Amino acid sequence: GQQLNQSPQSMFIQEGEDVSMNCTSSSIFNTWLWYKQDPGEGPVLLIALYKAGELTSNGRLTAQFGITRKDSFLNISASIPSDVGIYFCALRSNTGKLIFGQGTTLQVKP
């Protein structure tokens, strides 16, 4: 079956530092999605990527769709305490299912 590997599993950083996380898949997909989940809430879409090589920013967040169409990364610059949460990558399969990565738990020390 399709597999999606996300790393790192968790990060503990100092406020102001930059953060990078990535996902790789075993198959080629047409869309990469990045979500953030605050404790006790549903995931919120951060960035959607639709084209290989695409680089998209949303404020301090930047995500790229890998050229091979099998990977993507998310960068957060100048982290702040409210960046704390779980970040998920996700892919939409051609059967309609959404496949999630295992998540990256981010903690930011003020």
Partner 1 sequence: DGGITQSPKYLFRKEGQNVTLSCEQNLNHDAMYWYRQDPGQGLRLIYYSQIVNDFQKGDIAEGYSVSREKKESFPLTVTSAQKNPTAFYLCASSIGPFRLTNSGNTIYFGEGSWLTVV
- Yes or no: say if 87 and 106 are a contact pair by the CB < 8 Å rule: yes
Q: CA 54 to CA 29: how far, in whole Å?
A: 13
* Stretch near partner 1 under the rule CB under 8 A, chosen from 18-26, 56-64, 72-80, 102-110: 102-110
Is 100 one of the binding residues for partner 1 (CB under 8 A)? yes
By CB under 8 A, the residues from 52 to 81 that bind partner 1 are: none
**Structure tokens of 19?**
């953060």
Is 98 one of the binding residues for partner 1 (CB under 8 A)? yes
**Structure tokens of 2?**
């399709």
Sole binder of partner 1 in the list 12, 41, 82, 110 (CB under 8 A): 41
